[in-house]
Amino acid sequence: MSATDVLGGHRIVPVVVLDDPARADALGAALVEGGLPVAEATFRTPGAAAVLRRLAENADLVVGAGTVLTDRQVDEALEAGARFVVSPGLSAAVVRRCQDAGVPVVPGIATPTEVMQALDLGLDTVKFFPAEANGGLPTIKALAAAFPQVRFMPTGGITAESAPAYLAHPAVAAVGGSWMVAGDLLAAGRWDEVAARCAASTRLYHPTLEGAPA
User: Known catalytic residues?
Assistant: 40, 127
Q: Label residues 82-106 b or e (16+ Cβ within 10 Å = b).
A: bbbbbbbebbeebbebbeeeebbbb
DSSP string, the chain: --HHHHHTT--EEEEE----GGGHHHHHHHHHHTT--EEEEETTSTTHHHHHHHHHT-TT-EEEEES--SHHHHHHHHHHT-SSEE-SS--HHHHHHHHHHT--EE-EE-SHHHHHHHHHTT--EEEETTTGGGTHHHHHHHHHHH-TT-EEEEBSS--TTTHHHHHTSTTB--EEE-GGG-HHHHHHT-HHHHHHHHHHHHTTT-TTSTT---
Chain centre distance of CA 9: 13
Choose among 114, 127, 142: nearest CA to 40. 127
